[in-house]
Structure 1
Amino acid sequence: LIALFYSSGYSQSDITVNELKDHIVFLTSEKNAGRYPGGKANKRIVKYLQKDFKKQGLLSFKNNYKQKFKARLRVEKGAQEKPLVRTSNVVGYIEGNDPNLKNEYIILGAHYDHLGLGGPSSKSNKKNTIHYGADDNASGTAALLEIAEKIAANKKELKRSIIFIAFGAEEQGLLGSKYFVENPLVPLSEIKLMINMDMLGRLNQENHVYMGGAGTFPDGVPFMQNLGKSLGLTPIVHAGSVGGSDHVSFYAKDISVLGIHTGGHPQYHTPEDTVDLINFPGEKKVTDYIYNALMEFVTTDYKMGFIKQD
């Protein structure tokens, strides 16, 4: 029976709808109050992410999953400047097994913060109401944890190394990713690609998954198109159009990037971005897609190299 169980290809580390949902439900809970940088809620989320990384056996840099930094929060025009708050990126990695390629890193990232009780960047006037950020970006954070779990279960297959980063303070101006590239935990020259997941929870009926930056590495556009189609997705792939999320910080350092999302919606940056609107089967499909792409990059000698886009 045991042999049959494993030979079926099923693994307890498979990406599942239930686990994606569990992560998003926690991240969007009332007690986390919209995941604003700094404070008790921020610490609670960082602890949750650290615990998950440790559970999956991810390695830490300098014996610490936290990369601490200070973030100055955005304020409305004319308002008194807010003080700096303490927050963190949460970083773990899995080392590759190839003697040479293990010194090349692929980064998979997603920001875990949101708008808290609203704020100057919100499109809603309900500034004392929790902005749950289920799609933006609890969905990407959940995918990060699920992909890390599955890759950890298959780490013997890796040639290149993978760094997983849950970024803090993205909504405050990409502060977590900017801090990382200015204070990298590995030489920037060794980072060959950064894949960023920001809003994966609203796959539409046409199965559109959008991405920018696919032309910043060799054959990225046809590879992502063909892989998506083979999984029943309809990829909308741009060679450039790098976009406005955390991968921009890496592109500014001449690092190849891929920013992936499932599209905008009326609930973006409002209190109505809630867990009940997440398309969980769709998110699983997109998460599997990203996992498969990542495994191609890290288990083969796929040619990497930065290509600047206009």
Structure 2
Amino acid sequence: MNRITWRGLQLLILIAMAPMPALAQSDQPTARAPRREFEGPIAVSDVKPHIEHLASKELRGRSHAEGRKAGEYVRKHFEAAGLKPLFGDGQSFFQEIPARNPQTQERYIAGRNVGGVIHGTDAELRNEYIILSAHYDHLGVRGGKIYRGADDNASGVSMLLSVAKHFHNTKHQPKRSIVFLGFDMEEKMLWGSRWFVAHPPWPIGNVKFFLTADMIGRSLGNLPLPTVFVMGSEHSPLVKLALDDVGSPKGLEAARLGIDLIGPVPRSDYGPFRAKKIPFLFFSTGEHPDYHTPNDLPERIDHEKVARISSLIARLSKQLGSQSEAPVWTDELKPHIDEAKALNKICSLLMKANDDEEYKLTDLQKVVISQAVLKTKRIITRGKMSANERKELISVAQVLLLSVF
């Protein structure tokens, strides 16, 4: 995680504590359509075995030789799901990532992306690509301890493999081609996804939508949230509409946030695609105390949540793969009320956890969080949010990420 200076954090806190404008007389609550729910096609029995295997002691944190074994596991399941090889003119599931030894200048293979494709059914649209991805590498063994990476990111890979199998078993296939990508070297400055974007198997402009899932098996700060955060839809109206249309599996809340709420530095493999202005979504349930520790274990995963998120991604990718228009990028960002709702819930749960002595907040944190509860409640009551109010919410979100979680 990137750090900021204490002076920068003080500035964010001051902005977060600033009073919001008073409500105008004309600001009335805006009615919204009820949230659509559906029964998900992907079950716990689909995702759990993948998480248990990839985060097993035997794979030792999926780095070096064990990382290669994890890549082979992903390839084997891609092949079993009927995917066609993505690389080497359709002859290989692997894209090698080269590096150079700085001392000897010798070249070697540092990692391997794993990719497969289901070709679209439409003669023209099959040359447009929808990418679903998750990184399969983790931190390996450090200080004699295995960093097993159950949430980061065996959970995301289980989604990828389960959705691939689901597509294989589906009678009606999308018009566009669906690509399934397991990235290597995400933990090393996103090197696997950077390499792919720089060396794609077809012009990168043919990618019409990119989705990555990173840490989808726990809950932000271990708070009782039945929530997955879905970030990036603000950059494509068609993606936003598709999310509205597909709804959510029962028991899951899909909270839409702007990607800027978690800071300018990319936190996962969406970064290189965002830089190319390719419409994207980043799915994550958020960081928790076991993030990047040896305690990120399979038995702590909420497998039901992973299955529900996987079902949502399957349904969304089918919709985007078959609708007549492809998503397009926009730089024009409009505030979305879901951001205020998500922050209100997080802040309210933090205050309750502090009262129950599950969290130990400082006096300053309590002031910032309690004011955030009031501010977001007023926005929710009004039913809309101004651009200036959203800037304040960004500051609140970054204070929480940097000083609480």
TM above 0.5, one fold?
yes
Within 5 Å, give how 1:55-66 maps onto structure 2: 55-61=80-86, 62=89, 63-66=91-94
Within 5 Å, give how 1:112-151 maps onto structure 2: 112-118=136-142, 127-151=143-167
CA-CA distance at 1:85 after TM superposition? 5.1
1:267 aligns with 2:290: yes
Greater percentage in helix: 2
**5+ residue gaps, structure 2:** 1-38, 102-106, 334-405
Partner of 1:124: none
> CA contact under 8 A between 1:240 and 1:309: conserved in structure 2?
no
Percent of residue pairs bearing the same amino acid type: 34
> CA contact under 8 A between 2:230 and 2:257: conserved in structure 1?
yes
- In 1, Cα distance between the equivalents of 2:330 and 2:258? 10
Within 5 Å, give how 1:214-225 maps onto structure 2: 214-225=233-244
SS in 2 for 1:266: coil
> CA contact under 8 A between 1:216 and 1:308: conserved in structure 2?
yes
Partner of 1:52: 77
- In 2, Cα distance between the equivalents of 1:202 and 1:157? 31
CA deviation vs aligned residue, 1:95-140 (integer Å, no higher than 9, x gap): 011122111100000000000113xxxxxxxx32000100000000
Counterpart among 191, 194, 197 of residue 178 in structure 1: 194
RMSD: 2.4
Counterpart among 248, 253, 267 of residue 234 in structure 1: 253
1:222 to 1:304, Cα distance in 2 relative to 1, 3 A: closer
1:211 aligns with 2:238: no
Which shifted more, 95-104 or 197-206? 197-206
CA-CA distance at 1:230 after TM superposition? 6.1
1:209 to 1:72, Cα distance in 2 relative to 1, 3 A: farther
1:48 to 1:229, Cα distance in 2 relative to 1, 3 A: closer
1:69 aligns with 2:69: no
- In 2, Cα distance between the equivalents of 1:205 and 1:221? 26
Partner of 1:298: 321
Partner of 1:5: none
SS in 1 for 2:200: coil
The letter for the 2-side match of 1:189 is G
Partner of 1:23: 50
Which shifted more, 207-216 or 300-309? 300-309
CA deviation vs aligned residue, 1:24-67 (integer Å, no higher than 9, x gap): 1110111211011x32x122112111111111110113310000
1:230 to 1:30, Cα distance in 2 relative to 1, 3 A: closer
- In 2, Cα distance between the equivalents of 1:68 and 1:91? 11
1:148 to 1:309, Cα distance in 2 relative to 1, 3 A: farther
1:209 to 1:88, Cα distance in 2 relative to 1, 3 A: same
1:293 to 1:130, Cα distance in 2 relative to 1, 3 A: same
> CA contact under 8 A between 1:231 and 1:289: conserved in structure 2?
no
> CA contact under 8 A between 1:216 and 1:240: conserved in structure 2?
no
CA-CA distance at 1:156 after TM superposition? 3.5
> CA contact under 8 A between 2:46 and 2:307: conserved in structure 1?
no
Which shifted more, 255-264 or 133-142? 255-264
SS in 2 for 1:166: strand
Partner of 1:254: 277
SS in 2 for 1:15: coil
Partner of 2:389: none
CA-CA distance at 1:281 after TM superposition? 0.9
> CA contact under 8 A between 2:252 and 2:305: conserved in structure 1?
no
1:148 to 1:230, Cα distance in 2 relative to 1, 3 A: closer
1:281 aligns with 2:297: no
1:69 to 1:309, Cα distance in 2 relative to 1, 3 A: farther
> CA contact under 8 A between 1:225 and 1:235: conserved in structure 2?
no
The letter for the 2-side match of 1:308 is D
**Could you tell me the TM-score, scaled by structure 1's length?**
0.84
**Could you tell me the TM-score, scaled by structure 2's length?**
0.65
Which shifted more, 289-298 or 153-162? 153-162
CA-CA distance at 1:218 after TM superposition? 2.1
- In 2, Cα distance between the equivalents of 1:237 and 1:288? 17
- In 2, Cα distance between the equivalents of 1:181 and 1:198? 18
- In 1, Cα distance between the equivalents of 2:224 and 2:120? 37
**5+ residue gaps, structure 1:** 1-9, 74-82, 119-126
SS in 1 for 2:187: helix
SS in 1 for 2:147: coil
- In 2, Cα distance between the equivalents of 1:309 and 1:28? 40
